[in-house]
């Protein structure tokens, strides 16, 4: 198992170096990528919709994967900051707490699959993914938790390769930190 971990870690490091040199990995987060348009904000970020999605997460996911002690507070803080403010669209601050809240909402949305072709929660996941793009080098327990949430969501919506990448990254961080 140790050899597999070492090989995986080294392969990931080399792939990252190559991708960075080819310009495939962004070094800094582009704040405009997290800008929420008024139309999207009105639909996806209403307090009612966010509370509904959090409740679905809490009832269906948190009971199986209790990764956070106070997910309600995390979501309430996010809703207070970003919900029901469609008149003035603003950027979502690129921090792990917001990425976690977005991933909880994405996971909560998996329960309500509609007739549309868009995967449930993909908008929330996209914002979280943008945040993770600039946080991958932190190597913290909080980042590993966020990567684990991302793996749960991508697995749930059938993006297995992406899920494997997320959980592999989380595993590497947990191992490096001694967990």
Number of domains in the chain: 1
Q: Please give the residue that has the higher pLDDT: either 15 or 174.
A: 174
pLDDT at 56: 86
Q: Is residue 2 part of a domain?
A: no
How far is it, in rounded angstroms, from Cα 48 to Cα 169?
34
What the block records as the tokens of 102 is: 């977005």
Least confident of 7-11, 38-42, 158-162: 7-11
Q: Residue 86 pLDDT more than 60?
A: no
Higher pLDDT, 13 or 99: 99
Residue 79 has pLDDT above 50, yes or no: yes
Scanning the chain, the segments in alpha helix (DSSP H) are: 2-21, 38-44, 47-57, 71-82, 96-109, 122-135, 141-156, 160-177
Position 19 scores a pLDDT of 53
Domain holding 171, by residue range, is 32-177
The whole-number average pLDDT for the span 79-89 is 68
Residue with tokens 């993909």: 122
Integer CA distances (angstroms), 12 to 70, 125, 165, 175, in order: 33, 23, 10, 14
Q: Write down the pLDDT at residue 70.
A: 76
Greatest mean pLDDT among 24-33, 38-47, 132-141, 144-153 lies in: 144-153
**Residue 33 neighbours by CB distance under 10 Å:** 17
Does residue 23 fall inside a structural domain?
A: no
Q: What pLDDT shows up at residue 111?
A: 73
Residue 10 lies in a domain: no
- Whether 126 and 140 have beta carbons less than 8 Å apart is answered as no
Which tokens belong to 22? 């080819």
CA of 171: how far to CAs of 11, 117, 139, in Å? Answer: 14, 32, 11
- Residue 4 domain-assigned (yes or no): no
Compare 105 and 36 and report the one with higher pLDDT: 105
Q: Are 82 and 51 contacting, i.e. CB atoms less than 8 angstroms apart?
A: no
Of the two residues 143 and 62, the one the predictor is more confident about is 143
Residue 165's pLDDT band, with cuts at 50, 70 and 90, is very high
Any domain includes 49 = yes
140 phi-psi bin (left φ>0, alpha ψ -120 to 50, beta other): beta
| Confidence check: pLDDT of 65 > 90 | no
For range 127-141, the mean pLDDT: 88
Q: Which of 107, 98, 92, 96 is nearest to 149 (CA)?
A: 107
The two structure tokens encoding residue 178:
């001694």
Residue 62 lies in a domain: yes
13 domain-assigned: no
């Amino acid at each position: 198992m140790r050899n597999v971990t070492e090989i995986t870690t080294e392969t990931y490091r080399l792939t990252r170096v190559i991708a960075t040199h080819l310009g495939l990995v962004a070094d800094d987060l582009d704040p405009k990528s997290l800008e929420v348009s008024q139309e999207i904000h009105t639909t996806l970020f209403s307090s009612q919709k966010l509370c509904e999605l959090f409740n679905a997460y809490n009832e269906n996911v948190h009971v199986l994967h209790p990764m956070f002690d106070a997910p309600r507070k995390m979501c309430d803080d996010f809703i207070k900051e970003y919900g029901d403010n469609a008149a003035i669209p603003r950027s979502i601050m690129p921090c792990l707490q917001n990425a976690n809240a977005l991933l909880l909402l994405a996971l909560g949305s998996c329960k309500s699959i509609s007739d549309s072709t868009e995967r449930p929660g993909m908008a929330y996941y996209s914002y979280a993914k943008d945040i993770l793009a600039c946080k991958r080098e932190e190597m913290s327990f909080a980042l590993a938790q966020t990567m684990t949430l991302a793996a749960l969501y991508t697995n749930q919506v059938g993006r297995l390769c992406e899920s494997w990448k997320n959980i592999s990254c989380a595993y590497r961080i947990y191992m490096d930190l001694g967990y």
